[in-house]
Structure 1
Amino acid sequence: MTAPTHAARVLLDGRSLTLHDVVRMARPPLEGVAATAALSPEAQLATEQSVRLRDRLIEGRKPIYGVTTGFGDSVTNQISPEHAAHLQRNLIRYHLNGTGPDAAADVVRATLLIRANALARGNSGIRPVVIDRLLDHLHADVLPRVPERGSLGASGDLVPLCYVASVLLGEGDVHYGKRLLPAAEAHREAGIQPLTLEAKEGLALINGTSFTTAFAVLAAHDATSIAHSAEIVTAFVSEALLGNASHFAAFLHEAKPHPGQVAVAARVSRLIADSGLSTTYEEILDATDPLFDDYRRLEQRIQDHYSVRCAPHVIGVLHDTLGWVRQWLTTEINASTDNPLFSADEERVHHGGNFYAGHVAQAMDSLKTATASVADLLDRQLALIVDPKFSRGLPANLVPPSLSGEAGLHHGFKGMQIAASAVTAEALKTAAPASVFSRSTEAHNQDKVSMGTIAARDARTVNELTSQVAAITLLAAAQAVDLRGPEQAAPWVRRVHALVRSHVPFTDGDRRMEGDIATVCELILNGSLARAAGYSSDKDTDAAAA
């Protein structure tokens, strides 16, 4: 089966795939032409040379791990070349023991693409047709059913990738359209031919970090959207609290020039420019008479609470973490991550541990910690604007004054704050590092493992939770801007406020609000919120950082 020729094409060579390529193919547009991928001519040649070397070495009847030996601690079992292909089929079948929910479609698509690109590097002893078949499934959207749980992140994602490899053989189940079908049936409908694997090819398919890295790439992309949303929420909260815009002055942040912090401060400053709600330190001084007595209590704070004043420092950590996370992930998606590897130039085979997902594990543990800290920041901002002790004149829980005739009957955002507190606590709990929980397994052959898959799945979960906290806080802040008078807000805040109100109404009485949260979460994660605030595209953000 060949990919459509009219689609934008990504040529895979194992070296130049970008994070943006992965995201746009994992999450194809609802309308328009989706991108496709194919082996580059150089990759085609490199993989063919690798296969020829593999076959020559097998003919020598020497032990090659996973080719003419057993796997793991069974490495001392050497088999004849005649049984090498049979060994690959058994390898796939005995790892089909995943548990938990099925991985989402975007994760499976990303896995197919990343695995194809890793093999395209030409070190794995695998025929081009096997790589083509991975891409056939991607293009036809015939997606293997892959349980999320079961990988240690070393020796690669053995269990989840076996579900991918099994489908290539015509076995197992796939998600095709809105149906769950046997792979063989979906193959007939989509015109895909099942494979018969040769020596090493089963191991090449499953012995790598592609499932872990698929979660990680998507998590990094979504965390970028969350970081931008946190800046926008901070601007709204500053407006709602009649805050001090001087906290975001360039001088302050250039005096501590962490790039993320400087950039966040500049963006928040832009968002609240020309506001009729926010103020400045100088304006506060101008409105305050000099003190000629020994003491007085100021009517207005000259400094806002930390959750507003230090927002660039907190959100900046997330941006700066994302900077090196993207670099590490770009390396990982362009790496040979199986074992053994064949060097055509040296005419030899190398045994090693490139399947170890330690860099992805560390990246995801760091990312989820930085993201959960943003959830905590936004939860604290929410607490300020719903509490009349701190909100500078806003009604308790943002209950509209028009409901005063029904005093005591309405509760505004009281329940929303409870929900945000619970979700924040879960995000903080889930941020605990997974990489420190290495276990020795498989008869102590795999005696140090990365837990990268768990870390990456956790990062996905922390993103979901943090986006929910951001959505609740933004809804509350939009309510507060309504109560202050949206016409007084900064121009960019008014634009974002209009977007929110085009999807979610003002809360003029107690009602169900879970749908509001889901709607604003979608605006955050699909980039609509950032675009309304004048941010550049996701492609520009990912490319610049990667």
Structure 2
Amino acid sequence: MQDNGPSLVCAPPAADARSGIVLGEDALTVADAARFAREPGDVPIAIGEDAALRMDASVAARDRLILMRRPIYGVTTGFGDSARFHLSPEKTTELQRNLIKYHLNGTGPSAPVDVVRAAMLVRANCLARGYSGIRRGVVELIVDCLRHGITPVIPERGSVGASGDLVPLCYLADLLMGSGTARVDGEPVPAAVALRSRGLDPVAFEAKEGLALINGTSFMSGFGVLAVHDAEGLCAVADLGTALAAEALMGNRSHFEPVIHRQKPHPGQVRSAARVRALVRGSDLCLDTPQVLEANPDVDGLGVIPLGRPIQDRYSVRCAPHVNGVLADTLDWVRRWLDIEINSTNDNPLFDFATGRVHNGGNFYGGHVGQAMDSLKLAVASVGDLLDRQLAMLVDTKFNHGLPPNLVRRVDPGDPAAGLHHGFKGMQIAASALAAEALKLTNPATAFSRSTEAHNQDKVSMGTIAARDARSVVELVTEIAAIHLLAGCQAADLRGAHLLGLGTRTGYEVIRDHVPFVDHDRRLDEDLGVVVGLIRSGALVAALRPHWDADV
């Protein structure tokens, strides 16, 4: 945060789960926002005292400038291409109402409540920084709505990501005026009823306030912080999947030795290899390179003989840290970019209360969020493709080193059940479909800028579409990972689960506590849903963490 004078600035407090979230002091993180969005009522929030003073100062600067009767964009002028019309100060309130009304044209499914909560938190935090010319009471109403479980119903579609998320954020502004539809604890009700039920009063927007609410990147950031949070868990789960696959395929654990990865020391690659190595520690299914060599006969004078055990595994196992490491390293910079974005003032115009001046710019442009989300979805989809390839080997007798086809339980040829059951055949087909859909969505949304609004918005970010895509790719790959883990546990049972490494056995036991071995053909969608839940809740990663903390 830049210096605005000694009377209004203090050092940002450290974000901490016990003290809660302090808005407007540049301390909000992706982790804070994701936790708040997913755990209503568990994390207290408040506007920082100095942030409130800055908001008061920017409103005072705004009002002084209005009294000078000079044109101020979006305050005493029209919007966008219509800014060529200069309006009298008396029309500023009606102008803000009309701004909200004509943008209420969103389409598509309603955004999930956790995305909306994240977007509301981020918007309140950005406005509380004190450059937007909006009263503290308006931001406090957003905070009160969050405290009481009131969220607007926001259609997902309609934003080009500049001037920010105009259309979706209008539904938040509409709620604050007491209009439209809200959800209270997940149930749809008229917004006026929702506010009244919690003892809250709607607001009438003053000059600039409607524009301040909608002219920013908070809706795309709401999708973004949750996509990053979920992708971080998925990154760890993918290492468990690789470890299980390496054991089920009786692979070579030397592929994950530190000496290899120190020679190409991308942090994510090194961390992924260390995690896999830690998970398979103590395994009797994976072998080290000397053990693999020992398991093969000596060629001594025999010319050419087939190896009984391959000395190196296929790329989807051997190169797994190189694939998952890209996701880990992408997450590092994506998280940094989003941390900056959700602590920024990203509307227009901005009021510098220290100088009394108004500044016109383009901070509403969602370019950083768009680029981050396009990159994230590509890295996540690549991990999904990796897991799908590992799964294809697990079910195929040409590659799975003696496991039964499709991981069907073993039966004697004379058993009446022989040939009747098909195990994971359908699951592998489903995973392939999910992988294809995830890969399809990697087309970069940011490459599709469109000139709009009479060529005033002639270069736009498409950041919101990129963020929605990233959300969808993470969901798809989470489902692939769940199928993969179910297959890995099935293969472990067929090999002998007692032979697993210490870490993979922990993951196996967490899953087996909820989902049984597939000993006959049955519906597996409910099993899949359970494992997806274990991934999304973080329960699976939490159980694994003690095994790799010492290594990474």
Q: What TM-score do the two structures reach when normalised by structure 2?
A: 0.94
1:308 is aligned to 317
2:233 is aligned to 225
2:378 is aligned to 369
Tell me, yes or no, if the aligned pair for 2:31 and 2:225 is still in contact at 8 Å: no
Give the alignment partner of residue 143 of structure 1, picking from 147, 151, 154.
Answer: 151
SS in 2 for 1:199: coil
- Identify which range, 343-352 or 357-366, moves more after superposition: 343-352
Post-superposition offset of 1:16:
1.3
Cα distance per residue 1:195-250 (max 9 Å; x no partner): 01100000000000000001001000000111111000000001101110000000
Structure 1 segments (4+ residues) deviating >6 Å: none
Q: 2:518 aligned with 1:504, yes or no?
A: no
Q: 2:394 aligned with 1:385, yes or no?
A: yes
Tell me, yes or no, if the aligned pair for 2:376 and 2:470 is still in contact at 8 Å: yes
Q: How does 1:135-534 map to 2 (within 5 A)?
A: 135-293=143-301, 294-402=303-411, 404=413, 405=415, 406-534=417-545
* Matches of 2:251 and 2:514, distance apart in 1: 27
Identify unmatched segments of 5+ residues in structure 1.
1-5, 539-543
Tell me, yes or no, if the aligned pair for 1:47 and 1:127 is still in contact at 8 Å: yes
* Matches of 1:400 and 1:354, distance apart in 2: 59
Amino acid paired to 2:214? I
* Matches of 2:541 and 2:140, distance apart in 1: 37
- Identify which range, 442-451 or 280-289, moves more after superposition: 280-289
* Matches of 1:73 and 1:536, distance apart in 2: 59
Tell me, yes or no, if the aligned pair for 1:228 and 1:530 is still in contact at 8 Å: yes
* Matches of 1:180 and 1:96, distance apart in 2: 18
Post-superposition offset of 1:533:
1.2
Q: How does 1:29-48 map to 2 (within 5 A)?
A: 34-48=42-56
* Matches of 1:424 and 1:287, distance apart in 2: 36
1:541 is aligned to none
* Matches of 2:297 and 2:439, distance apart in 1: 44
* Matches of 1:9 and 1:480, distance apart in 2: 44
Tell me, yes or no, if the aligned pair for 1:14 and 1:335 is still in contact at 8 Å: no
Q: How does 1:23-102 map to 2 (within 5 A)?
A: 23-28=34-39, 34-102=42-110
Give the direction of change, closer, same or farther, for the CA distance of 1:192–1:20 in structure 2 (3 Å limit): same
Amino acid paired to 2:384? A
Post-superposition offset of 1:534:
2.0
Tell me, yes or no, if the aligned pair for 2:278 and 2:547 is still in contact at 8 Å: no
Amino acid paired to 1:445? N
Post-superposition offset of 1:176:
0.8
Identify unmatched segments of 5+ residues in structure 2.
1-16
* Matches of 1:152 and 1:537, distance apart in 2: 42
SS in 1 for 2:397: coil
Q: 2:129 aligned with 1:126, yes or no?
A: no
* Matches of 2:185 and 2:33, distance apart in 1: 20
SS in 2 for 1:441: coil
* Matches of 1:282 and 1:537, distance apart in 2: 24
- Identify which range, 271-280 or 395-404, moves more after superposition: 395-404
Give the direction of change, closer, same or farther, for the CA distance of 1:153–1:537 in structure 2 (3 Å limit): farther
SS in 1 for 2:243: helix
2:12 is aligned to none
SS in 1 for 2:178: coil
SS in 2 for 1:448: coil
Tell me, yes or no, if the aligned pair for 2:274 and 2:548 is still in contact at 8 Å: no
Tell me, yes or no, if the aligned pair for 1:14 and 1:119 is still in contact at 8 Å: no
Q: What TM-score do the two structures reach when normalised by structure 1?
A: 0.95
Amino acid paired to 1:118? C
Give the alignment partner of residue 124 of structure 2, picking from 116, 119, 127.
Answer: 116
Tell me, yes or no, if the aligned pair for 1:14 and 1:118 is still in contact at 8 Å: no
Cα distance per residue 1:494-520 (max 9 Å; x no partner): 111111111111000111011111111
* Matches of 2:292 and 2:157, distance apart in 1: 56
Cα distance per residue 1:4-52 (max 9 Å; x no partner): xx984311124111112101110116xxx61121111110111111000
Amino acid paired to 2:406? N
Cα distance per residue 1:338-364 (max 9 Å; x no partner): 000011112100000000000000000
Give the direction of change, closer, same or farther, for the CA distance of 1:403–1:219 in structure 2 (3 Å limit): farther
Tell me, yes or no, if the aligned pair for 1:8 and 1:34 is still in contact at 8 Å: no
Give the direction of change, closer, same or farther, for the CA distance of 1:92–1:181 in structure 2 (3 Å limit): same
CA root-mean-square deviation: 1.6
Post-superposition offset of 1:431:
1.1
2:6 is aligned to none
Post-superposition offset of 1:537:
12
Taking every aligned residue pair, what percent have the same amino acid on both sides?
56
* Matches of 2:221 and 2:206, distance apart in 1: 26
Post-superposition offset of 1:288:
2.8
* Matches of 1:303 and 1:437, distance apart in 2: 43
Amino acid paired to 1:369? L
SS in 2 for 1:100: strand
1:3 is aligned to none
Amino acid paired to 2:534? L
SS in 2 for 1:297: coil
Give the direction of change, closer, same or farther, for the CA distance of 1:84–1:357 in structure 2 (3 Å limit): same
- Identify which range, 520-529 or 87-96, moves more after superposition: 520-529
Post-superposition offset of 1:403:
6.9
Post-superposition offset of 1:289:
3.6
Amino acid paired to 1:23? A
Amino acid paired to 1:57? L
Tell me, yes or no, if the aligned pair for 2:245 and 2:394 is still in contact at 8 Å: yes
